[in-house]
Structure formats: structure tokens, C-alpha cells
A and B are shown apart, each in its own frame.
Chain A
Amino acid sequence: MRRAIGPTLAAFLVLALVALPGPSSGSPADPSTLVVGQNTGILITLDPAVVFEVEGVVIVDQLYDKLVDLDMVDGKIKVVPEVAESWTLAPDGKTWTFKIRQGMKFPSGRAVDANAVVYSLRRALRLNRPSIYMFNELGLTKDNAETAVRMLDPYTVQIVVGQSFAPDLVLAILSFVATAVVDPGVVEQHIREGELGSDWLKDHSAGSGPYQLMRWERNEVVDMVAYAGYWRGIPPVKRIVIRDIPEPSAQRIALEKADIDVAWNLSPQMRQEIRTAKTPGLAIVRVPGHGMEYIGMNVKYPPLAKEQVREAIRYAIDYKAILEGIMRGEAIPLQTFVPVGYLGHNPAMPFKQDLNKAKQLLAEGGYPNGFEVELATNAPHPTRPDVAQVIQNELAKVGIKVKITTSAAATVLGKYREQGLQMILYGWGVDYPDPDALAKPFADGTIRQLAWRNAWMDPKATDLTRKAMLERDPRRRVALYKELTELVAHKGPFAILYQITNNWVIRTYVKGFEQAAALGTFHFDYTKISKVRQ
């Protein structure tokens, strides 16, 4: 036995010594490589016609050019040309003609032309995956893909939508990654029977975007390199490596060690620590997000059926305490449903805590002594359980006894969809950057969405939502949203608490991140980033 253990131990020690590397291993020393630490366990596919998850959309956005793109101009989201250089709308309000930019090439050498654009959009419609519902609302479906999307000449594409929608709305939806232009020649090579190349496009790229996908090892790494033929020129960062580091603490350690340049998923608490400790070499980037947190009040529950009671609850909430105490300044004040940066954003802040007014309104509504109500939310969640407790405390001050129930997100959503909750604390994420994406769920009770889930139906709100959707004059459209947001703010079944923000922690030598991230998930632009080594 002695003979057996001795050599084993010796062999192990030698092995360990050989294995020990120098301290610098894994460091992204090369200034042309950007290393991002991120939880990539949520990535499912990189096929632009299928992808719907935030993290996946951000990656796909680097690999492909879309028909049109988004940019932030003076703090407002604007649709800008990308593959389409210009466009015109016929007087019928439905027929769009897009002029395709000449001189763009796929890595295969084929031209990015009208044929490729039509092929890609038809493919996305035919696949008919969940993300395509937005296109369906424009009247573009898998059944009319052939007739609605057509090539007029090698550099002209015609898209006919179902109604004369507000032009901004159509363009906002066309800026989604489902219009990313794929190389038809490459995709055709990989089509198997009964599918449209999705299996292959899941982890390969066939686009003309600034980067090409080198490899995606699931739960390990996504590796992208700059495409030398990119029409806007090669970006400063030549390689983007997204390393899968699911645990936020491990992400933070790797960032502090400068083994990664960007930490994608630190917790609000960690960011707070980094902010207060003023850790040298680290910077926090914050941009307005596309979503909000709100309280939903089901009007089927008798006390909440009274307009005065809902208004009383809005006056009983201490918005400031939530923003500062729980969100620690990482949220943007918002009380109407169109967020900051959007066309038609309404900056009105009609509610601040006023307990006397709340009590008076409760009395007017017929509940002078309050009532009992259940507030549902999901756990685990970094902030919602805390916010729910604040709400519970404050409503208690006017006699409303709140019972908090928490369960998994999918469970809460399941009951919510059946109008089965009394009150809910939840969030709403926007699918396309246009006020219509908010008006439909928050105001139109005929669509089985948020207003419906709270059993709230208001013919005037429905009417305004439809009018605004079809209003072709942007100024009149803004006026319609002002009227609609105010109506919903006071009569609707919601108390909007705040707009979310997106937050990253980066090394200070990473420049341009704020510009790259300005549109958050709708257009994340890695080409604006550079690395400057001090």
C-alpha cells in the first residue's frame, strides 16, 4: 500500500505543479477584443426569425443588418435607414416602397439586395414563431407573405400592410430583428426537409452585420469577429467574446480582476456597493429601459370596481420611497404608460402620497373603513417582494389590509391571464418601440391583455387606442396619446410605479458603452465601443 500511495501522491503533485499557470491567464489584454461576462444560459437560438429573448436579440443585432434601424436622437427613439436607404408611403397609407442600399455584400460575396430582403422577411413570416405576432398585427402573416412582401426590381422592395397605420408604428415594428437580412444562398444550403434552415441558423450566422459568429458553445462562450466587408467599415473592437458566467458574484470577481471588460448581470445591491466604494477602474452605465413596473387592480373585485377606490390607492402609494429606498435611484419616475424616449411620452406626475385625499376618496367610493385585498407578485425577484411590502404598509395607513401572495412568475401569469387576481405587482416589457405597444395592453380592454386581465373596459380608451394606431400625422398622434394616457392614469386599473433602467458595470477603459447601449435591447451597437488601455 505504501508503494501505491506514494507514487499516486507524487504524480498528483507534479500534475498540479505543471498545471499551475501564471497569474495573468484569461486576461483580455488585447485592446481589440472585448470580453463580456454574462449569463448566457438563457440563450436559445440566434436565428433572427425566431429569437425573442433580450440577450439573443442583442447578439443577433451584431450579426445582421435589418431593413431599418433605430437610433437615439436628442433623447428620442427614431427609426433610421439601414439596409433600406430610403422609403416612401403611397397615398393609400398601406403600400410601402423601400429603396435598398447598393454596394452591401454578404461574406459569401453575394449582394445584399431586394431578393435577399424579400427572402428573409417571407421566411420569418412563414416560420410564424411567437415574435412574429407584431407583424401579424400589421396584417403581415404567413398566409399573405407572398403577396404582401414583393420585389419590384433588384433594389426595390414593396411591403403592403393591412391598414393605413401610423407610419412610425410600421417602421418601429420593421426595425425588429425578424427583418434581419439573411444570405439566401447560405441558408438554402442548410435547409432540411420541413424546416426553413432554423436548425442551422440557431448557432451559425448568415448576415452582413458588423460581426460574424465564430462559435457558440452553449453555456460556455459566444465568439464573434468583425466582418472585414462591413459596409460602414470595420469596428474598433475586432472580436467580441461573451463568456458565460452565470453567478453574479463570480462575474464581479472576474470584472474586478479585469478578466472581463463588462459585467452584464450584477445585482442592484452589488452596483450600489461599487458606487459607494468608488472602486477604481470600474464604471456604472445606466440607460432608460423599455418597460415599467405597475400595480394592476382587477375591477371584478367589488372594492376595486369603484373608480374612487382605485384613485385612492394611487394617492396612498409613496412613489418616492420606492424609487429611492428600494430602487436606490436606478429607476425613472413614470406615472403614465408611455415611457421616456418614446413618441407621445407624457411627463405628467399627477400622484404623490396624500393620505388624507386617499381616505376622502375611499369614503366617496363607499369604503371609509377600507377593505381586504390580495396582492400577488412573483418570487424570487430582486425588488418586487420589497416593493410589495412598502405598498402593504402604505395602504394599511388608509385602512386597506393587503395580503401579499408570492409564487413563481409563470404561476402568477397563469392566474392573471384568467382575470383571477385581485391586485398584482408586475412589470411590462415593450416589444416594439412605439406608444402603440403600450396603448394596446394598457388601454384597450377588447384585446386580451393587461387592461382585460384587470377586467377593465372603457369604450373611449379603446376608441382612442385605435385612432392613435391609425393616425398618420405625428402631431395629432401625440395629442391622442396625451388624452389617452391621462384617461388611463385616472380611470384605468393601474398604478404605474416607475420606468426601469438597464444597468451594466464596465472597466473604465471601455469607451462608448453608453452610446452603444442607449437603445438597450432594441438596438445594441457594439461598433460604438472601443478599448483604451491606460
Chain B
Amino acid sequence: MNLATYVARRLALMVLVIFGVLVITFVVSHVIPADPVMAILGGNAPQEKVDALRRQLGFDKPLHLQFVAYMWGAVRGDLGTSLRTGRPVWDDIQQYFPATVELTVTAILLAIVLGIPLGVISAARRNQVHDHTARVFSIVGVSMPVFWTGLVLMLLLYYRLGWLPGPGRLDLEILPPPGRTRLLILDSLLAGHWAALRNALAHLVMPAFVLGYVATATIARVTRSSMLDVLYQDYIRTARAKGLVERVVILRHALRNALIPTVTVIGLVFGGLLEGSVLTETIFAWPGLGRYITTGYVTLDYPAVMGGTLYIAVVFSVVNLIVDLTYAFLDPRIRL
């Protein structure tokens, strides 16, 4: 199969996946026995208002007609109107997604920068103190709930030590830079607003670390095991026999090959980060898409939940597509 066919097949598959997500979110949000009209109007509203709103929102129509209407809208880029905020869901997504991007991208960068060296050290000093420490770090990372790690770190680094700022994206004293991209770091750089840049980075450290912790641990573990595999290969023995310094053997000869599985896993954990941002954003008062979707769940705001989920599914699929295409380009065996 040549590259073009491969790309076409992958794109078709992606459309199928996104359609699946759409169907599932629609079905799930419409079969659960809860009434969004009641959630909007609360307990006091008179019956006539309830009936009127139900008609106005089209909830009195049969389910399949509602689905067709939603599908038709989604195809044209109209994700409906949020029941709660009364604004187009697409506008809401545009408002909240940049904060999520900033958080998840920082988290994955942190996870890579911390996870790979950790894995390499673990493998190189197998069953020594470094290895054990790194392994405990990884196990803690995989098993601790995000909200717990988040609160403990906040107590320690913000409340006790005062090294890092508290919840939110910026301190009150700092005026945000003009929002061209709504990515604070980028906007501050573009505006040359250094105080905002420092402050925004400081605010990013804790939530990004908490969010990236699980990914860090996963990356470290995968790097360690693939490193160990590689270290027993013949060519490493040869390198050592040639009398190369151990550091050169590990970093130049072993790591380069050991990183292939790591790269794969990075693509996968990125999707997990998008999901994990839901909790992290709530704890750290991060005004992102995860928070928007959670509030949507609580208030039975179906269009918000469906639109947000669909959007994340699309982003995740695109990221995966890019990762896979890069592979296919680099390693023709994958296309088979």
C-alpha cells in the first residue's frame, strides 16, 4: 500500500470514529432518565413554562428526528446552543479550549522532560537506589487520584511554602495581555508582557505537573523497560567491548533505539491528558474545556456535553492521525 492510500484509509477511519462518538454521546445523554428542562427551570417554575421550554428546545419531538437535526447541524459546524448559557456551543468551545491546550501541552512537555531521563536512569542503574526511587515515583503517579495529588501539592507548595501561586491562570494584580490567541503564554510573548508571562508560567507549573504526573510515570516505565531490552542487545555489548564510556553507550547507542516505544506511548497518553484535564481544571480553577464539560454534566446541558466531547474526540483523532502518519512516513513497514 502506498502512502496516499494509507492516508485515505486513515481519514475514512477517522470519520467513522467521530461518527461513533457522536452516536454514543447522543444516545447516552438522551437515554439517561433526567430532564434538562427541569434542570434549567428548577423546582419553582410553573408548569406552563416547563411545557413551553420543552417545545421551544424541540424535546417534544421523537428521538430520531432530534438526532438527525443534531447530525445535520454538526456536519455544518453548528453544535447547537448551550441550554445553560444560551450561547452557541461552538463559541463556548472557542473560549475555553485554549486554556486546556496550554495546560495539556505543558503537561505533556513536562512529562517528556521528566519521564525519559527517569526511565533511562532507572534502566542504567537497575535495582539500585535510583531505580527503586524512580519506580516508587511511577507507582505513586499511576495510582494516586488527580484531585488528591492536586490538593496535597497545593497545600505544600502554595499554602505552606508559598513557592507557587494558588488557583487560577493569573494573579489579580496582573492584567492579561490582549487576547489574540487566548493562549496566555503566547499572548504575553507577542505583547512583550513579561510580568504576565512569568506569572502565567508560575500558575501553570502545579496543574501541569499534577496533570502530567500519570503520563510522566507511564513514559518513565515504558522507557525503562525498552531501555533494558536494548541494553541486552549484541550491538550494545559490542559498543562496550570497543571500550566506549558507559554514558556514551547508553545515551548515544541505546537510547536512540529505545525511544521508539516511548514515542508511541506519548501519543496515547496525550488523549488521557485531555480527559484528565476535567478534574485538574476543577481543582486549580482552570477555565478550560474540561471544566465546561463537567458543569454541562451537572446541569444536564446536553448540547454542551456532546459538543465538547465531540470536539475533544476530533482533536484526539487528529493528533493520533499525525502521529501515525509520521510513523508511516518514517517506517514503511507500518503501512502494511
What is the CA–CA distance of A1 and B202 in the complex, to the nearest angstrom?
Answer: 29
Those of B160-174 within 8 Å (CB) of chain A: 161-169, 171-173
Asked whether any CB of chain B lies closer than 8 Å to the CB of A410, the reply is yes
B78 to chain A: closest CB distance in Å?
18
Contact of B202 with A21 in the complex, beta carbons under 8 Å: yes
Tell which of A18, A133, A243, A247 touches B45, judged by Cβ atoms closer than 8 Å: A133
**Complex Cα–Cα for A8 and B117 (A):** 11
Cα distance, A414 to B300, chains bound together (Å): 13
Bound state CA distance, A250 and B162, in angstroms? 15
CA distance A18 to B202 in the complex (A): 9
Please tell me if B128 contacts chain A, counting CB pairs below 8 Å: no
Partner of B33 from A44, A221, A244, A411 at Cβ < 8 Å: A411
Q: Is B284 on the interface with A (CB-CB < 8 A)?
A: yes
B158 on interface, CB distance cutoff 8 Å: yes
Q: Verify A250–B283 contact, CB threshold 8 A.
A: yes
A259 interface residue (CB < 8 Å to B): yes
**A-contacting 9-mer, from B6-14, B22-30, B249-257:** B249-257
Is the C-beta of A110 less than 8 angstroms from some C-beta in chain B?
no
A386 to B95, CA, bound (A): 39
Bound Cα distance A11, B151 (Å): 28
Is A87 an interface residue when CB atoms closer than 8 A count as contact? no
Query: What residues of chain A lie closer than 8 Å to B50, measured between beta carbons?
Result: 417
Interface 9-mer from A22-30, A63-71, A228-236, A482-490? A22-30
> How many angstroms from the CA of A219 to the CA of B47 in the assembled complex?
32
Q: How far is the CB of B277 from chain A (nearest CB, A)?
A: 13
Shortest Cβ distance from A129 into B: residue: B49
A408 close to B (CB within 8 Å): yes
Contact B285 A44 (CB under 8 A): no
For the complex, is B198 an interface residue (Cβ under 8 Å from A)? yes
Q: Taking the complex as formed, is A533 at the interface, i.e. its CB lies under 8 A from any CB of chain B?
A: no
Which of the segments B36-44, B137-145, B305-313 contacts the partner chain?
B36-44
- Please state if B44 and A26 are interface contacts (CB–CB under 8 Å): no
CA distance A429 to B96 in the complex (A): 32
Q: Is A146's CB within 8 Å of the partner chain B? A: no
Instruction: Check: A73 CB closer than 8 A to any chain B CB.
Output: no
Q: Which residues of B contact A35 (CB under 8 A)?
A: 172
Are B283 and A247 touching (Cβ within 8 A)?
A: yes
Residues A1 and B251 in contact, CB atoms below 8 Å apart = yes
Complex Cα spacing A408 to B33, Å: 9
The answer, yes or no, to whether A409 is at the interface (CB within 8 Å) is yes
Chain A proximity of B269: nearest CB distance (Å): 19
A277 at the interface (CB under 8 A from B): no
CB within 8 Å for A21 and B172 given contacts A247-B285, A257-B166: no
State A257–B38 Cα separation when bound (angstroms). 39
Give, as a whole number of angstroms, the nearest-CB distance from B271 to chain A. 23
A45 at the interface (CB under 8 A from B): yes
Chain B residue at smallest Cβ distance from A244: B285
B164 touches which of A12, A20, A250 (Cβ 8 Å)? A20
- Is the CB–CB distance between B255 and A1 below 8 Å? yes
Whether A253 and B47, one on each chain, are in contact in the complex, defined by CB atoms closer than 8 angstroms, is no
A389 at the interface (CB under 8 A from B): no
Number of chain B residues close to chain A: CB under 8 A: 63
Known: A41-B291, A253-B158. A5 touches B116 (CB 8 A): yes
Do A250 and B46 contact each other (CB < 8 Å), given the known contacts A130-B41, A219-B292, A257-B158? no
Given A130-B45, A130-B49, A257-B159, A250 and B167 touching (CB < 8 A)? yes
User: Are B33's CB and A253's CB within 8 A?
Assistant: no
Known: A41-B295, A133-B49, A217-B287. A19 touches B201 (CB 8 A): yes
A250, B166: Cβ atoms under 8 Å? yes
Contact string, B270-291, partner A, CB cutoff 8 A, digits 1/0? 0000000000001111010001
- Is A448 engaged at the interface, CB distance under 8 Å to the other chain? yes
* Cβ–Cβ contact A9 & B159, under 8 A: no
A291 to chain B, nearest CB (A): 10
Task: Tell me the minimal C-beta distance from A277 to chain B in angstroms.
Answer: 15
Partner of B166, one of A41, A241, A254: A254
Contacts A18-B198, A21-B165, A45-B86 given; indicate if A410 touches B39 (C-beta within 8 A): yes
CA distance A33 to B171 in the complex (A): 14
Residues in A neighbouring B161, C-beta threshold 8 A = 23
Give the docked Cα–Cα distance between A5 and B199 (Å).
26
Question: Are B43 and A218 closer than 8 Å at their CB atoms?
Answer: no
Given A26-B166, A133-B46, A256-B159, also A410-B34 (CB < 8 A): yes
Is residue B35 contacting chain A, with contact meaning CB distance below 8 A? Answer: yes
- Counting chain A CB atoms within 10 Å of each CB, the highest count among B46, B50, B85, B168 belongs to B168
Residue contact A250 to B284, C-beta cutoff 8 Å? yes
The residue in A217, A407, A447 that gathers the most chain B C-beta atoms within 10 A of its C-beta is A217
CA distance A221 to B282 in the complex (A): 14
Contact B247 A25 (CB under 8 A): no
A15 at the interface (CB under 8 A from B): yes
Q: Indicate with 1 or 0, residue by residue over B235-279, a CB within 8 angstroms of chain A CB atoms.
A: 000000000000110011001100000000000000000000000
Chain A, range 423-447, C-beta contacts under 8 Å to B = 426-429, 431, 441, 447
Residue contact A448 to B47, C-beta cutoff 8 Å: yes
CA distance A42 to B40 in the complex (A): 11
Residue in A closest to B172 when the chains form the complex, CB atoms: A241
A267 within 8 A of B: no
Q: Establish whether residues B85 and A44, one from each chain, have CB atoms under 8 Å apart when the complex forms.
A: yes
CA distance A22 to B36 in the complex (A): 46
- For A41, what are the chain B residues with a Cβ–Cβ distance below 8 Å? 291, 295
Is B205 in contact with chain A by the CB < 8 A criterion?
Answer: yes
- Residues of B within 8 Å of A133, CB to CB, are 45-46, 49
A532 within 8 A of B: no
B45: nearest chain-A partner, CB-CB: A130
Is A2 interfacial (CB 8 A cutoff)? yes
B161 CB to nearest chain A CB (Å): 8
Residues of A within 8 A of B47 (CB): 417, 448
A448 CB contact (under 8 Å) in B46, B164, B202:
B46
**CB-based contact A220/B287 at 8 Å:** yes
B84 at the binding interface (Cβ < 8 Å)? yes
- Answer yes or no: A269 CB below 8 A from chain B CBs: no
Q: Say yes or no for A413: interface residue by CB 8 A criterion.
A: yes
Known: A20-B202, A35-B172. A426 touches B43 (CB 8 A): yes
Q: How far is the CA of A8 from the CA of B166 in the complex (A)?
A: 27
Instruction: Report Cα–Cα, A247/B166, bound state, in Å.
Output: 12
Residues from chain A with Cβ under 8 Å of B162 in the complex: 22-24
Contact of A25 among B34, B165, B284, B287 (CB under 8 A): B165
Q: How far is the CA of A15 from the CA of B109 in the complex (A)?
A: 13
**Across the A-B interface, the 4 shortest Cβ-Cβ residue pairs:** A23-B162, A219-B287, A19-B201, A410-B38
Known: A9-B113, A26-B168, A217-B287. 9 other contacts (CB 8 A): A8-B113, A21-B202, A23-B162, A25-B202, A26-B171, A133-B45, A246-B282, A410-B35, A429-B42
Give 19 CB contacts A-B under 8 Å: A2-B247, A16-B205, A21-B165, A25-B165, A26-B165, A26-B172, A28-B172, A130-B49, A133-B49, A244-B285, A246-B285, A257-B159, A407-B33, A407-B34, A413-B38, A413-B42, A417-B38, A428-B43, A431-B44
